[in-house]
Amino acid sequence: MKIVKRILLFLVLMILGYAARYAWLAGPVLTGYGAKIMCSCTVLGGRSAEDISRHELARFPVSLGTYQLNPGDSSASGNILGLAHRKAVFRKGLGCTLVNEISEEALRRQNIRRPLSSSENEAKAWPMGDSLPHPSVTGVEMEELHKVVSDAFGYSGSENLRNTRAVLVIYKGDLLIEKYAPGFDRHSRHLGWSMTKSVMNALVGILVEQGKLDLYAPAPVDLWQQDERRDITLHNLMQASSGLAWVEDYGGPSDATMLFSKKDVGLIAMRKPAEHPPGTVFNYSSGTTNLISWIIRQSLGDDEYYTFPYTALFARAGMTSMVLEPDAGGTFVGSSFSYANARDWARFGLLYLNDGMAGGERILPEGWVNYTTTPAPASEGEYGAQFWLNAGPPGRPVERMFPDVPGDMYFADGFAGQNVFIIPSEELVVVKLSESRGDYLDDNRFLSGIIATLPR
């Protein structure tokens, strides 16, 4: 019996030790997440702290924390039972940044050239502005389309866990339907989460056209030049096939959640060892996208880096509400932190639907959309270059993610139900923004329902 008791005691101590270690590592991640979301959703999203607490911060285990706004110094903070204190601060033009591995004073003193300020242009006609002409397309079953879109806001059960916030349907360039949940409108900014990765795709395309980046040359990372990582190209990073070790897990402390605890998130993947030869294994990685953002910064230099997305992409495409947020080291968090209103997410989709053209101007280089939608060989047809694909190329049968939606669809995809769906064969862009915590919308049924209302 003594042996049994000792074994049981040992097991209990092991469990308690594991739990304590997990709490030690996970606590700052959870409170960092909560402080960051509270800050950004308030300042950029125009929401109340109470509403954010009921929705974004109600997700377990983030809900274990206590979060508050600090209007006096434009910040938000979080803790769990008085421990794991974290803080995010707002800086004009840059959104909110977590105070990670740097003092708050040093963060606020950073001499970052602010992006150009811009405002919505009410007078310009859609899509470059917000003046909506009467739709020119005919033959759309509008009554049924309204029903499909309205159903996307419905939910089952006693609580709205689907939490759809915005749906826009753009057909042949016309904004046919624009619907918002209560508390949101066309001015409301929404967090794109991993749709930010697709924004990085556009920035890389512009720099490739300018000759400042080379997709197929070894990635310009000095640290890699003395080992096997020297063979990794920017193209491999774009296709999430670098071969670097990476764990994309948000269920606890991991490579991906270091986003909420590290100063320079672009360096996390840079320092990872190679596990596979580049181009042979698909591994969806927020880390390598943040590394891409860091590479963009190195190619431009800081004087140009902070204004480049705004002058080279957003302003030219009419995306006046878009904000990219940097980490504490000053690099845009290309994996996750972009905010824009629903119309600007639609304009982003139209840019790709129109082969990189907006307002009669070429923004993305010729052939870039084709490059973007070419399946990464290691991804079995599901992924291109920072965009997801519904199916592989003709002649290569691949099971579609959305079986009732055309195979040429590709899309930006973000956590909790953020999507910009682009369907070239239907001349269609669909934006769906949400904060789903369950009861997720059936996107296959939703999209096929929209397509069924279009003229044949």
**CATH number where 274 lies:** 3.40.710.10
Q: Which residues of the chain have pLDDT under 70?
A: 4-25, 116-120, 392-398
Q: Are 78 and 31 in contact (CB under 8 A)?
A: yes
pLDDT of 24 reads 44
Are 84 and 211 in the same domain? Answer: no
For residues 413 and 404, give the distance between their C-alpha atoms in angstroms, rounded to a whole number.
Answer: 18
Q: Are 191 and 455 in contact (CB under 8 A)?
A: no
Query: How many other C-beta atoms are found inside a 10 Å radius of the C-beta of residue 397?
Result: 10
Q: Are 45 and 323 in contact (CB under 8 A)?
A: no
Are 209 and 146 in the same domain? Answer: yes
Q: What is the largest CA-CA distance in the chain?
A: 84
Tokens of 153: 């806001």
Element (H, E) at 349: helix 342-353
pLDDT of 25 reads 58
Are 158 and 282 in the same domain? Answer: yes
Q: Are 438 and 414 in contact (CB under 8 A)?
A: no
Are 214 and 312 in the same domain? Answer: yes
Are 89 and 151 in the same domain? Answer: no
Are 177 and 249 in the same domain? Answer: yes
Peptide bond into 61 cis (omega under 30): yes
Number of domains forming the structure of the chain: 2
For β-strands 164-171 and 388-389, DSSP reports them as unpaired
Within-domain flag for 130: no
For residues 139 and 171, give the distance between their C-alpha atoms in angstroms, rounded to a whole number.
Answer: 11
Angle at alpha carbon of residue 387, lines to 382 and 393, rounded to 5°: 45
Are 69 and 159 in the same domain? Answer: no
- Measured between alpha carbons, how far is residue 191 from residues 175, 196, 212, 337 in Å? 21, 9, 29, 7
Are 96 and 217 in the same domain? Answer: no
Are 30 and 146 in the same domain? Answer: no
Give the DSSP letter string of 28-63. Answer: HHHHHHHHHHHHHHHHTT---HHHHHHTGGGSTTGG
pLDDT tens digits, 155-193: 988 899 999 999 999 999 999 999 999 999 999 999 999
Are 194 and 83 in the same domain? Answer: no
Are 287 and 190 in the same domain? Answer: yes
Contacts of 12 (CB under 8 A, 6+ apart): none
Q: Are 125 and 119 in contact (CB under 8 A)?
A: no
Q: Tell the residue number behind the tokens 């066309």, with chain if given.
A: 186
Within-domain flag for 384: yes
Within-domain flag for 118: no
pLDDT of 20 reads 45
Are 159 and 105 in the same domain? Answer: no
Confirm whether pTM is higher than 0.75.
yes
189 DSSP β-pair partners: 341
Within-domain flag for 124: no
Spatial CA neighbour of 45 closest among 159, 165, 177: 165
Q: Which domain holds residue 105?
A: 2-109
Within-domain flag for 134: no
Last residue of a domain, one of 60, 93, 109: 109
Percent helix, strand, coil in the chain, to 5, is 35, 20, 45
Spatial CA neighbour of 434 closest among 412, 413, 416: 416
Last residue of a domain, one of 63, 85, 109: 109
